[in-house]
Amino acid sequence: MSNSGASIEVKNLRKSWGAVEVLSDVNFGIEPGGFLTLLGPSGCGKSTLLRLICGLDEVSGGQILINGADVAGKPAAERNLGMVFQNYALFPHMTIEENISYGLRIRKVPKAEKKKSVDRVAELMALGNLLDRKPGQLSGGQQQRVALARVLVSGRPLVLMDEPLSNLDAKLRVEIRSEIRSLNKKLGITIVYVTHDQSEALSMSDRVVLMNAGVVAQVGTPKELYEHPANTFSATFIGTPPTNILDSLEVAFPADLKIAGGLKLSECLFGIRPESLAFPAEDLDFKVRARVQSIEYEGKVFLIHMRTDAGTAIVVSYSGGSVPDEGEEITVGWNRDATHVFSRSDGKATTLVY
């Protein structure tokens, strides 16, 4: 196990299947030891992107730089990276030990050294007493650990993970999530992680690449993505419940409001996180009338689903005492600094001028 990660940089990457372009002009990078997440809804191209990076599919254009060297034309085995597959891809006919040491066997690592490496990762992943079993005899969480061990045993500086937690139950998912995160920090390996779960992405990553329909919607730290969404897609994909998007025409806003970049107020959309919406709205800068449709009790908060007079659905995350009744019409509001502004025509973010 080496203790240093590799840097990875993707430049102008394209991939098309025949005439269908599934990835266009993808750019991002991560420094050694970083944790990068490719996030997006299913079908956005994130798994394809991962397969391009690991070399299981060929790129149609652009560069993949690992430690500065372009590997786009190299076969998968020469890229010095490991991969954890969604269904773990453990060899069902081999024991756990054989599974973990398979790569070492292929590379003809001497027996004593092989044994040492296997024992080390087995201890690291708490698999010591399972080495003689077959994958079918293990629970999902244990299989996941074996898949991680198989990648770690080779000491690859870069590890790719394709939705590795999606087959686990919620509790185990949180557990292994922090385990992966601590491995990343402890061993210094670089991780490129694919998920459709935005909370997973926010909690684990140093850097998130948000993708939509084959293009990168936004690249940034989890905090940047949450606090400064670059477009309406980013705003509505990150955070639960998603950001409310309201047309400026149905909102009462302060008279002195101006938009940067010469955009007219009538061409704007406002984005407000559910937790920033509040009522009563007398003292708030922005106001909108809406009728309560349904109320969900979430423990800490109530999620109040409402519909504005113009028919836009909004959600308020409400933690106050008196909950309105269903069907009641109330005014909700929010403050200037909680407002995200987007252009209606292309969805891109812009800013308010004070």
Partner 1 sequence: MNKRLPLGLGFVLLVMPCSLLVAFTHYPAVRALINSLWNNASSRRPSKFVGIENYEALIADEKLMQVLTNSGLYALGTIPLAIFLSISMALLVNSKLPATGLMRLSFFMPTMLPLVAVANIWLFFYAPGIGLASQIMNFFGLPTINFLGSTETSLASMMVVAVWKEAGLFMIFYLAALQAVPENLKDAARLEGAGPVRVFIDVVFPLLRPTTIFVAVNALINAFRLVDHIIVMTKGGPDNSSALLLYYIYEVTFRQRDFAYGATLTVLMVAILGVLAAFQFWVLDRKTHYQ
Chain residues binding partner 1 by CB under 8 A are 54-56, 76-77, 81-83, 85-87, 89, 91-93, 102-103, 106-107, 134, 150, 154
Q: Which is nearer to partner 1, 95 or 312 (CB)?
A: 95
CA distances from 223 to 23, 166, 205, 226, 228 (A): 26, 24, 10, 5, 8
Compare residues 154 and 234 and give the one whose CB is closer to partner 1.
154
For partner 1, the closer CB: 140 or 242: 140
Nearer to partner 1, 150 or 207 (CB): 150
We find the least distance from the C-beta atom of residue 103 to partner 1, in angstroms, to be 4
Nearer to partner 1, 1 or 174 (CB): 1
Angle CA 143–145–147, to nearest 5: 70
Give me the least distance between CB of 56 and partner 1, in Å please: 5
CB atoms within 10 A of CB 110: 9
SS (H, E, C) 63-121: EEEECCEECCCCCHHHHCEEEECCCCCCCCCCCHHHHHHHHHHHCCCCHHHHHHHHHHH
| CB of 161 vs partner 1, minimal distance in Å | 13
Task: Give the Cα separation of 79 and 176 in Å (integer).
Answer: 26
Residue 326: CB atoms within 10 A of its CB come to 12
Least CB distance from residue 131 to partner 1, whole Å? Answer: 17
Collect all residues with Cβ–Cβ distance below 8 Å to 135 and sequence separation of at least 6.
88, 90, 91, 92, 94, 96, 99, 143, 146
Between 82 and 239, CB nearer to partner 1: 82
Q: What share of residues in the chain are helix, strand, coil (percent, to 5)?
A: 30, 30, 35
Q: What one-character DSSP code corresponds to residue 233?
A: H
Task: Rank residues 196 and 207 by Cβ distance to partner 1 and give the closer one.
Answer: 196
Helix (H, G, I), strand (E, B) or coil at 337: helix
Q: Name the minimum Å distance from CB 316 to partner 1.
A: 43
Q: How far is the CB of 142 from partner 1 (least distance, A)?
A: 17
Distance of closest approach, residue 77 Cβ to partner 1, in angstroms: 4
